[in-house]
Amino acid sequence: MLSEEERREIQAEIPHYEQKRACCIEAMKIVQQHRGWVSDESIQDIAEVLEMTPDELDGVATFYNLIFRRPVGKHVILVCDSVSCWIVGYDHIRDHLTTRLGIHFGETSADGRFTLLPIACLGTCDHAPALMVDEDLYRDLDPEKVDEILAKYQ
């Protein structure tokens, strides 16, 4: 069931669009903000509020890579793997992260702290390589800096 707060936040977004269903990406982001991911049950609940069928909504959910349809760790690391970062050392950043966390892309660390995902160009190419943890952007990375960043997220 959606919480009162989730419902309220979704209702506030609906008038920004011509049709209710147009608000569905916003609605899924709201639920994900509260729960970390969007479960099958949430898909049903959101679909009901927006007068859509669950399969219709799931078709939208699965298109967008930042709507998580599976549980993620407490923090999500998004590593830019696009060209400018690749040229100046993305490989080292990726290898350092996979070794330190003992996981590959798409996996969550055993302690549930981090999920590691690749992401397309973060638009900060003059400070490559770059990554985001949750909503925070980190730039000009090297392996030591990555260690400092990881230590900040418990």
- Which of 49, 72, 133, 137 is the binder for other proteins (CB under 8 A)? 137
Between 77 and 78, CB nearer to other proteins: 78
Between 66 and 110, CB nearer to other proteins: 66
Q: CA 46, CA 30: separation in Å to the nearest integer?
A: 10
Ramachandran bin of 134, using left for φ above 0, alpha for ψ from -120 to 50, beta for the remaining angles: left
Q: Element (H or E) spanning 80, and its range?
A: strand 75-80
Q: Which stretch binds other proteins (CB under 8 A): 25-33, 95-103, 107-115, 145-153?
A: 25-33
Between 63 and 144, CB nearer to other proteins: 63
Between 87 and 110, CB nearer to other proteins: 87
- Helices 24-35 and 54-61: crossing angle in degrees, nearest 10, is 80
Residue 106 contacts other proteins per CB under 8 A: no
- Residue 118 CA to chain centroid, in angstroms? 10
Q: Residue type for 76, please?
A: V
Q: Which stretch binds other proteins (CB under 8 A): 11-19, 95-103, 107-115, 142-150?
A: 11-19
CA 36, 14, 60, 49 dihedral sign is positive
**Contact residues for other proteins, defined by CB under 8 A:** 16-19, 21-26, 28-29, 50, 59-60, 63-67, 78, 81-84, 86-88, 119-128, 132, 135, 137
